Each structure stands twice: as structure tokens, then as C-alpha cells.
Amino acid sequence: MTDTDLDTEPAPAGPPSVRRSWPVYVVIALAAVAFLAGLAGGSFQGKLSEVQKNDNASYLPSSAESTVVADESARFVTVTTVPGFVVYHRDTPLTAEDKASIARAREAIAAVDGVDKSGMTPTQYSADGTAASQYVPLVAKSDGTDVQGDVLAQNEQNVMDAAKSAATSELEVLPAGPGGLLVAFIDAFQGLDGALLGAAVLVVIAILLVVYRSPVLWFFPLLSAVLALGLSSMVIYALAKADLLTLTGQSQGILSVLVLGAGTDYALLLISRYREELHAYPNRFDAMIRAWRESAPAISASALTVILGLLCLSFSELNSNKSLGPVAAIGIGCTYLVMMTFLPVFLAIAGRWVFWPRIPRVDHAADLATHGLWGRIAAAVGRRNRPAWIGATALLIVLFAVGIGSLQTTGLTNTENFTNNPDAVQGQQIYDAKFNPGTGAPAVITTNADRVDEVIAVASTVPGVATEPGSVCLQVDYAKLAELAKLGTTPGTGGPESGCPPAILTVQPIDGRTVVNATLADSYDSPQALDTVTRLREAVHAVPGADALVGGSSATTVDVQAASVRDRNLIIPIVLAVIFVVLAVLLRALLAPLILIATVVLSFAATLGVCGFFFTHVFHFAGADQAFPLFAFVFLVALGIDYNIFLMTRVREESLTHGTRTGVLRGLAVTGGVITSAGVVLAATFAVLGVLPLVFLAEIGFAVAFGVLLDTIVVRSVLVPALSHDIGRAIWWPSALARAAD
């Protein structure tokens, strides 16, 4: 096999005729609509944070036990809160002046809007006298109305400002508890509008400058991608505002890089084909019409595959995953619309000069299969196809084996979820060291009131539940407590043995149900606390006639993790089945889709192995979220199959004229440069997720970036073409092409 074997036909003597029909004018009309809508939608991108929901409770379905408990327990209070603490600390014991300033700080905090003043408890001091903590519950829902995430974050900031203003300068003042950590998550996502998008745009510009070697051309795909992001932001904002989907910070971050990456990919493929056709057509509009028609099947199949793969997340139990699918699918749909309407019209109107200084001329030299590096790579693959695909397969297996044992997907605590060290993490570490770490976020048990004594007795004996007096009690009625505080009366307890508030201060049964709080011995998000919740559920479920259920912050995390595992086991096979159907229809074959899916799954497995090694031994992350394999799979397989679609649609086109084996090599040679460039762009944009200080997004960014590069360089460039060349025309079985002369 030689380079010249790739070209078996002379270049055409003249350009073929192009018929301009009504679809051309439809594309032009849609281009105008996409442009105007994208411009109008730009303002909505900055407003997406207003409709975000980043708490675990909003992720779960209504059937989850912790959700049922949350709904039941909400009947006993007029205000739903997020528990939190303000921690005061110094290395030496607190002075009298410190304690006086802490008392003033409590009064200042109680005056802050958004704080549930009736739920605040007296200041607690650590046993060694070096720290104090104040329980500060933030209002999350009042009279049935949720507090938006940005408002919650501002309220927490106001609390901290009030505390710091009143405290002495020698004191370290930090937030802690679920409230502080939730706000730290919200603050981390505030970078979406600035650092993340800015870094992604700069990366795309740099890569496009290298790919196109033009100071002008990069502007066209980037502007189109920005318009697509504006259009998708407008649609998603409207749906999230109407509570038709749940938008989380991680969904918004993924949306930004997905639109930029996928949009640039589609633009690279279209512009590459347009450049080819400009060598054959003197009229740039004819060249664009021809390029659009030839590129549309591959780009459409790619977009459809990604959209359907993402929509498979709708089968998820978790609302966050269930809505990530539509959020990302809307992004891909808007990107496809802009890239297939506005971009080609904009390029055609602009003219050939946009390629300056490498302006394509009508020289019929568009058959790139006989030129350049990829022509030589294709020839090498053809000469040694079997060693090539066997070697590539062996490499992927080795990469899988090298680190899969190190990949821990048992979940992360909230303090382990950050790549930096925010104030809330520092405050939580001090709180856990100085106070009972389970205080403030108890397990919440709802039970039949006539069995409450048995439930309390059983819960008190569960290992992992705090053993101090007052650890397992009926829930306090904070409205009554506030009334006593106004009268200057200090409530007693139910007795020295129980340590619980007197019955007059606890909630009264509603419809025969009541609420019990059980303080855990460990921090609410620790693995030990999660195990305790599991044991607690087993214990109280066994109480006859109690119908007891366990919720609370720890229980919510348990339910989220269980749902993540269930989603992974259900959705991955569905995604594979959907992609197989799309490929079978596109390629009109059954064997080729099976081979393509098998290679991408092998690439995914290799990526997990590399991730396990890097997460543990290089980045020193504490582990990975249970949802990590599912997210990585959906994005890697749905996006990774794109490049095989781009390759194999061109291979099939070439095989119809030149035969399968020559068609494979011609397809690889012609698409190699543009697909590799597209892979680099997508990998770079996902790598930008590391800008946000969150372990989960950093892991997803690394996994997709590495996996896309691995798929582009090894799978699509070597494994797939070498295996296809070795198999020959049988790869198109059972279509007629499998029986055609090669």
C-alpha cells in the first residue's frame, strides 16, 4: 500500500451543478431567527444562577424516604430551614472581652433578614475554652415559597458580616454546617459567568488560531457558539423558572463547555468541507450549499446521538440527573440549529477572504487523500492493519488495568468536595474538632405518635447515635421556645435522665404523626454518619405499628448515593442501545455499529483506569462521587461516538465509489486533521471545568478531556480504521455494500 493508492480517480474537470431550492431559503430564514434569538438570550446566561438549586433535597424524587420525611416534618413548622453555625476560634482560651463580643454578635445575627430567629439556640463553648459556636438556621422556605440560591448565599454572607463586625479582631470567625457548605457550593458556581466561560473562550480561540492559521476565521465559529449558548440559556431559564426542570450549578457548568466544545466541533467539520468545495466551485454560495449537504448527515447524526444519549438521563431517579439530560440536550439542539443555519449563511456572505492568508482557489485540488500527514498515516494503517488494531486494543486494556483498582466511587463528604479550602470547610473542621459533630443536623424520624416512646427507645440504642442525655427527643416547637425567650424564661428539661425539653415545648401530633430528632455521634456527611442512618432505618422500621421513617441531611445523602448507583446500572445499557440504533440506521449496517460501540466502551474503560490512577496518586482526591461513572460514560460515549460517526460516514461515502478498504483509508486521510482538531477543542473546553474549585467537576473535566483525546488519537485514528480495513467489506453486513466488489 502506498500513498498514491488512496487516490484512484482523477479530479473532476469542472464543478458539478448545484440546484438552489426552497430548503436553502428555509436555512436562511432560520439563520436570521437563530441570530436574533441568540443575541436576545445572551442576557439570560447571567440570570441562570437565579434559578439554580444546589441542595441534595431538591435532587431526590418524591418517593425517596428522606423526601417523604421532609414533607411530613414540614407540617410541624411554619419555616423550613438550612442548619448552619457561626464558629469563633482562637488558639488560646477565649477572654471575657471575646465572650462579650460573641454575645453582641449573636444579637446582630438575630437581626439579619433570612435568619430563623426562633430556631437560634444559646451560644455553646468548647471544653477547652478556645472556641464558641452559634446555631444559625437560614430560612430555606417560608409559607410554601422557596428562597432562591443567590438570596440564600447573600443571607449567609450578611450573617458572617454581622458576626465579624461584632467580634473582636483576635477571633477567627467562620461558617460551618450544611448552611455554610451549601453557600460555599453556590459561591463556587458564581464563577460560571466569568472565569469558566472566559477560560473556555480563550482556549477555543487559541486552538482555532492554530488549526485555521488565520487571524479571521476563528471568529465565525466562536460567535456562533456564543449565540448558541445565549439561545440555550434563554430556553433553560424559562423552563427552570417554571419548575419544569431542575438546574444545578454543575449542569450550568457542563452546559457552557458542552455548547462551546460541540459547537466548535460542528463548525470545524462544516468549514473543512466548505474549504474542500471552494477548490471546485467558483461561486462561494454553490460551494457552501454543496458543503452543507455533504456535512449535514454526519453532523445531524452526531447531534441526534448526543441528544438521545443525554435524554436517557430522564430515566434517572435523581432530579439533578433527570434534568441534566434536557439541559444539555437543549444546549446541543440550540448549537446544532445555530451551526447549521447561521454559521453557513454568515460564512457564505463573508466570502473566501475569511480563510486569509490560505485562501482556497478553484484548482480542483480538494482531494486531500493524497496529501499531508494523514495521507501517510492512512497508508501506514493500511499496510499493517492487524498489528495496529491489536496493539491499540492492548494499550487500552493496559490503561484500564493500571488504575481501575484505585478508582473509589464511594462518595465524598462536603468538605472533601472542594479543591480549595473555603471558609466553610475550615469552620467545619474546627467545629468537628471542638464540638459534638452531629449537633445541628440530626436524623429526623417521623412516626405514629402512639409508638413514639418505643421508637425513641430503639433509636437510642443504635450504634452511631449520640449517647448523651437529650440526644433522641421529640422535636422542639421553636415558636413556643421563642415566646418563652421573650418572657425571659429559661426552659428546663424533661428530667435528668432524658435531657429532653419538657412536653409543653415539643411539637404536638398532627393526624396521629409526630417528629423525633436523633443526634448522630459523627459529622452529618461522614461515611460513619451515613452508615448510622442505614442502621437507624433498619431499627425503627422494625418497630411494630410505628410506620417510622428516617430523613434529615445524612439520610438525604444516603438516598442520593443509592439513587446514583441505581441510575448508573439502568441508564448505561439504555444509552448503548439508543446509540446502536442510531448508528445502524445511519450506516445501514449491524456489524459496524457493534464494532464502533465496542471500541468506545473499551476507550471508556481505559479512561476510568487512568482516572483512578490520577485521582488517587497525582491529584490526591479523597475519592469520586457515585454519579461520576454515569456522567463520564454519558459524555464520553455520546461525544466519543461523534468522531466515529464523522469518520465512518465519510468512509461509507468513499466506499461506495472506491471499495471498502480503499474507502477506509481515504476517509481517514480526509477527516483525520479536522476530527483531531475537533477532539482537541472539546478536550480543552472540558478541561477548563478545573477552573471551578469543585472536585466533582474537576474529575468530570479530566475524564472527558483525557477520554476524548484517547478516543480521537488511538480509537478513531488507529483502532477503528485498522480493524475496519482488516475486516473489509463484511463490516457493512447485512447491507448490499457488504456484497459489493472491493
H helices of 542-627, in order, are: 553-587, 591-613
Q: Could you give the percent of the chain with pLDDT greater than 90?
A: 37
pLDDT of 432 strictly over 80:
yes
Q: Of 228 and 191, which is predicted with more confidence?
A: 228
pLDDT at 334: 95
Domain ranges of the chain: 3-12+21-45+194-414+558-739, 65-188, 442-551
pLDDT at 15: 54
pLDDT of 536 strictly over 90:
yes
Provide CATH code, domain 65-188: 3.30.70.100
Handedness of CA 58, 64, 65, 69 (dihedral sign): positive
| Reduced 3-state DSSP string for 452-511 | HHHHHHHHHCCCCECCCCCCEEECECHHHHHHHHHCCCCCCCCCCCCCCCCHHHECCCEC
Of 626, 557, 682, 571, which is closest to residue 409 (Cα–Cα)? 626
pLDDT at 626: 84
Provide CATH code, domain 442-551: 3.30.70
pLDDT of 450 strictly over 60:
yes
Per-chain mean pLDDT for the chain: 85
Reported as a pLDDT band with limits 50, 70 and 90, residue 2 is very low
Of 621, 599, 601, which is closest to residue 696 (Cα–Cα)? 621
Q: 230-262: per-residue pLDDT in tens?
A: 999 999 998 888 888 878 777 887 888 888 888
Q: Of 150 and 276, which is predicted with more confidence?
A: 276
Which cell goes with 169?
479582631
Reported as a pLDDT band with limits 50, 70 and 90, residue 391 is very high
Angle (CA) 602-684-319 rounded to 5° is: 70
Q: Of 545 and 498, which is predicted with more confidence?
A: 545
Reported as a pLDDT band with limits 50, 70 and 90, residue 3 is very low
pLDDT at 493: 47
pLDDT at 10: 42
Q: 713-726: per-residue pLDDT in tens?
A: 999 899 999 999 99
Pair 250, 340: CB distance under 8 Å = no
Q: 626-664: per-residue pLDDT in tens?
A: 889 988 898 888 777 878 888 888 899 888 888 889 999
Neighbour-count burial for 414-426, b at 16+ CB within 10 Å, e otherwise: bbebbbeebbbbb
pLDDT of 734 strictly over 60:
yes
Q: 117-169: per-residue pLDDT in tens?
A: 878 888 999 999 999 999 999 988 777 677 777 788 888 889 999 999 999 98
Q: Of 537 and 205, which is predicted with more confidence?
A: 537
pLDDT at 55: 58
**Measured between alpha carbons, how far is 429 from 525 in angstroms, rounded to an integer?**
12
Q: Of 524 and 512, which is predicted with more confidence?
A: 512
**Range with the poorest average pLDDT among 115-124, 369-378, 383-392, 645-654:** 369-378
pLDDT at 8: 39
**Measured between alpha carbons, how far is 324 from 318 in angstroms, rounded to an integer?**
10
C-alpha distance from residue 574 to each of 324, 329, 567 (Å): 16, 16, 11
pLDDT of 412 strictly over 80:
yes
Q: Cα-atom radius of gyration of the chain, to the nearest Å?
A: 30
Of 414, 421, 409, which is closest to residue 615 (Cα–Cα)? 409
How far from each other are the two terminal CA atoms of the chain, in whole angstroms?
Answer: 15
Q: What single string gives the DSSP state of each residue in 697-721?
A: HHHHHHHHHHHHHHIIIIIIIIIHH
Q: 309-338: per-residue pLDDT in tens?
A: 889 988 888 877 777 888 999 999 999 999
DSSP state for residue 439 in the 8-state scheme: T
Reported as a pLDDT band with limits 50, 70 and 90, residue 486 is low
Beta-carbon contacts of 10 under 8 Å, excluding residues fewer than 6 positions away, are none
Most confident range, picked from 131-135, 303-307, 349-353: 131-135
Beta-carbon contacts of 598 under 8 Å, excluding residues fewer than 6 positions away, are none
**Range with the poorest average pLDDT among 285-289, 578-582, 641-645:** 641-645
Topology agreement, domain 65-188 and domain 442-551: yes
**Measured between alpha carbons, how far is 649 from 294 in angstroms, rounded to an integer?**
10
pLDDT of 7 strictly over 70:
no
**Measured between alpha carbons, how far is 534 from 710 in angstroms, rounded to an integer?**
40
pLDDT of 376 strictly over 80:
yes
DSSP state for residue 590 in the 8-state scheme: S
Pair 469, 499: CB distance under 8 Å = yes
- Stretch 653-676: mean pLDDT: 88
pLDDT of 496 strictly over 60:
no
How many C-beta neighbours within 10 Å does residue 515 have?
A: 25
Count of positions (residues) in the chain: 742
Neighbour-count burial for 685-698, b at 16+ CB within 10 Å, e otherwise: bbbbbbbbbbbbbb
Q: Could you give the percent of the chain with pLDDT greater than 70?
A: 91
Q: Of 385 and 298, which is predicted with more confidence?
A: 385
pLDDT at 489: 55
Amino acid in position 428? Q
Q: Which strand ranges, in their side-by-side order, compose the sheet holding 79-82?
A: 79-82, 138-142, 145-146
Q: How deeply is 737 buried, as exposed, middle or buried, from its count of CB atoms within 10 A (0-12, 13-18, 19+)?
A: buried
**Measured between alpha carbons, how far is 114 from 156 in angstroms, rounded to an integer?**
8
- Stretch 398-403: mean pLDDT: 94
pLDDT at 430: 93
Pair 291, 365: CB distance under 8 Å = no
**Measured between alpha carbons, how far is 364 from 16 in angstroms, rounded to an integer?**
12
Reported as a pLDDT band with limits 50, 70 and 90, residue 551 is very high
pLDDT of 9 strictly over 70:
no
Reported as a pLDDT band with limits 50, 70 and 90, residue 191 is low
pLDDT of 6 strictly over 50:
no
| Reduced 3-state DSSP string for 119-150 | HCCCCEECCCCCEEEEECCEEEEECCEECCHH
Q: 67-101: per-residue pLDDT in tens?
A: 999 889 888 877 778 888 999 999 999 999 999 99
Q: 265-275: per-residue pLDDT in tens?
A: 898 889 988 98
Residue recorded with cell 466562536: 222
- Stretch 411-431: mean pLDDT: 87
pLDDT at 207: 82
User: Following CA atoms 93, 94, 97, 100 in sequence, which dihedral angle do they give, to the nearest 10 degrees?
Assistant: -160
- Stretch 615-628: mean pLDDT: 89
pLDDT at 542: 96
